[in-house]
Amino acid sequence: MKIDIILCGVGGMGALSTAAIISQAALDMGMYMKQAETHGMAQRGGDVQSHLRLSDSPIYSDLIPEGECDIILSVEPMEALRYLPFLNKEEGWVITNENPFINIPNYPEKDVVIAEIKKIKNSIVFDADKIARDLGNPKGTNMVVLGAASKYLKIDIEKLEAAIKDIFGKKGEDVVNSNINALRAGREVADRI
């Protein structure tokens, strides 16, 4: 079994902290993993991405080969499109929040961006911000998106919940529960499709 995931967004949106949760869950399952990140200058409001590779056999490349990514998991719709050359165009999924983060003057029209995502064979584009807000956890967008992606991750959602407990445990039970709730709400979205 192997899973190649690209996590993406804009610097400061929490796109990359999702990687820590998936990695923790994968490690608990005894899988091999590699995770390449963006550091340094690019983080200042620029596009950020992480290549996360999980497998039950040793992994060579830190970068996902083009055309082999199983899931693009994004907290921003235009950013999800930036990594399409990596997507497995037959079997891969694009799962993204639908609300643009506009910090450039030439950001395209939202409808056009969404329409472009819907052209992809397998995609889920939804208002993860609203779900997070309604749960009283406006910073939980990334957990909601992860929840939606969990259906295709080949990792049990219970394992992800355990990883959330591990990683956020220090911050108290409230933080753990609100993140788990966000995760479950995201999963419901995917289950309804």
Residues that bind another protein (CB under 8 A): 10-11, 23, 27, 32-47, 51, 59-63, 65-69, 78-79, 81-82, 84-89, 92, 103-104, 106-108, 112-113, 116, 120
Nearer to another protein, 171 or 188 (CB): 171
**What's the closest the beta carbon of residue 90 comes to another protein, in angstroms?**
10
AA letter at 50: S
Nearer to another protein, 38 or 177 (CB): 38
**What's the closest the beta carbon of residue 4 comes to another protein, in angstroms?**
11
**What's the closest the beta carbon of residue 159 comes to another protein, in angstroms?**
16
Per DSSP (E only), the strands in 45-132 are 47-55, 71-74, 93-97, 123-126
Nearer to another protein, 23 or 97 (CB): 23
Tokens representing 190?
């995917």
* Residue 160: C-alpha distances to residues 11, 21, 25, 113, 163 (Å): 24, 7, 6, 30, 5
Q: What is the DSSP string of 73-85?
A: EESSHHHHHHTGG
**Using only C-alpha atoms, what is the Rg of the chain?**
16
**What's the closest the beta carbon of residue 24 comes to another protein, in angstroms?**
8
Please choose, from the candidates 156, 148, 169, 79, the residue with its C-alpha nearest in 3D space to the C-alpha of residue 116: 79
* Number of Cβ atoms within 10 Å of the Cβ of 84: 18
**What's the closest the beta carbon of residue 42 comes to another protein, in angstroms?**
6
Nearer to another protein, 76 or 161 (CB): 76
Nearer to another protein, 52 or 182 (CB): 52
